[in-house]
Structure 1
Amino acid sequence: MLVCDEHVASQVKTQRTTIYRVQDNRLSAADALLERVQAKHDLVIGCGGCTALDVARYVGWRMPLILVPTIISTKCISVHRAILQKEDGTELRLLRQQPIQTIVPTREIANMPQELNRYWSISGVGDTLAEISAALDEAECELPRPNFEALLRRVPVASEALDWALAGRIEYCEEAVVRKFAELSHHASLEILANPQHRYYRGSEHYFYYALRRLPGFRWMPAHGWLVLLGSLLNAAVYRDSTGDATPWETLRRACCSLGVPVSLTEWSQIRVTSGDILIALNAVDEPRSLFSRRRPFTAEWLHRTLA
């Protein structure tokens, strides 16, 4: 059975494959599909974006599962986590089926319109780099504190992504670039699979993202990885202010510039992320492990100075 989004379904030529078109990740719809899949099929192929892959992971429970991501928008293309939406709007995160294979159609992704390719690729790299921010949360509490090189050794995939992002201007529609994005995302997935309690899976940057998601204007904001990368940059600024070590901040800022990600409030406002929304989200983070929680309250003056 092929579980895919509408775009993929429109490209399928064969009539011999059962196709389920995913509209959203509602748990009720996934449960109904689960019964059909378990009764009639012995293989599930998930093809499409994050929503299609999440539904495929859920319904492919205890059977062979192949994933074919058509965008690389997160670091989780090969994981076994499925994220579904309950009726009350909250998320349900489940450990479901690990794929037997992940196939990334690099040529097709490279042939996407350049701006669309750039948009989703930045999201994927931003999600991978987020592990650096999570490591900063931990390092700020340590004495003696590790230097940045030692900290990066704790997050080898994110460190590789950082080196690659800093290497120079990125041509998003080159197949070699897409292949590198896919490798980084896949390796990050393998880290999570090897250690489900991976302590750098998320940190302040993700709690910041979750706070943004509760705001009325969230639906107009950029994709997950963009906002997580903004959270990582802000977390590095808090770490700088707390420890006097500006290296993480300066390095992540250079990586953002290389990737083509905004680094100023003016630039973020142009893609519908306002200073007011950022400030509300920063002050809403209430996770003891987060640098944001330990630093609150944040002021408009601090934010404007940080993202000048």
Structure 2
Amino acid sequence: MAYISAASTISHQPTFRNAGFSNVIQPLQQGSVLISPDYKSFIEAGLLRRMSKILRMSVACSKDCIAQAGIDQPDAIIVGTGLGCLLDTEKFLNNSMTIEGLLPPTSFIQSTHNTMAGQISLSIGNHGYNMTHTQNTLSFEHAVQDGMLLLNEGEEHILVGAADEHIEILDEISEKLKINFETGLTSAASFFILSNAKSEATLAKIRDVRTIGLVTDVSAQIKAFLAENKIGPDGLDLVLFSGKPQDSAEISYSENKNSPIDFTGFSGVYPTSSAFALHFAIDKMGNNKTLKHILICNALNKSNLGLTLIESVEA
């Protein structure tokens, strides 16, 4: 169990510092662009110029979360990312092919997957546990599990988030592989403060998180997950899914429940889009007090399954 004390998302939707966004956003259209806030409010101008898009998003969301939660420092910083800092990786590779002699180090230094967690730590002066998880489409779920383990060990507040960025070459690769996405590939960052106790700032609770690799029977895994948490399919008020909808939808509703929602229709497609789904679910609960239990079913990659059960503060 973990209490969510703050949530912040920068995406292709008006999500940043916009409580109630889940009730007003519309499905993304092809060609949508990232909606960036004024980063100067969060990052010094000198640092801002040297930061790529994914670093700017991560630092801004992190600082926004810390301010929302009203804490001085988190006890740990944990980030999940599927593809890491792609723009800086591309810059470094291009430099290595076009520049003779010594290469400028910045793009190489900022191309590693753990750059986001490190940059957040430097930006807020944090010296605690700092970890990056990169397990394809389950990267965010693993980051959340890590955070919950730390809470069980006695830590009070953990900053947990996820970020991935879209660059043009991904479109070329997906076209060559004949992978088509209705909403297109997108960029986003979502960060949360997980706490070990309920407070006035608590938005919702994460009751449990499960990750399954090489999954063969999605429905069976969902049923087992719900049974372990002593909740029946008809006890779910909403299911958010990515991937194949029928596997999660068939067993997750009685006739009087809300229709399942494919959250990638709102977030677009990127490896850690389940982090967007978590913020979406929290926001939904804040605006609709009848929603007590929400299941996020992340099957964006057919061989991976991530399950997150969210419970309202009142439940």
TM tier, smaller: under 0.3
TM-score, normalised to structure 2, is: 0.27
Tell me which of the two structures has the higher relative contact order, counting C-alpha pairs closer than 8 angstroms and 6 or more residues apart: 2
* Structure holding more strand per residue: 2
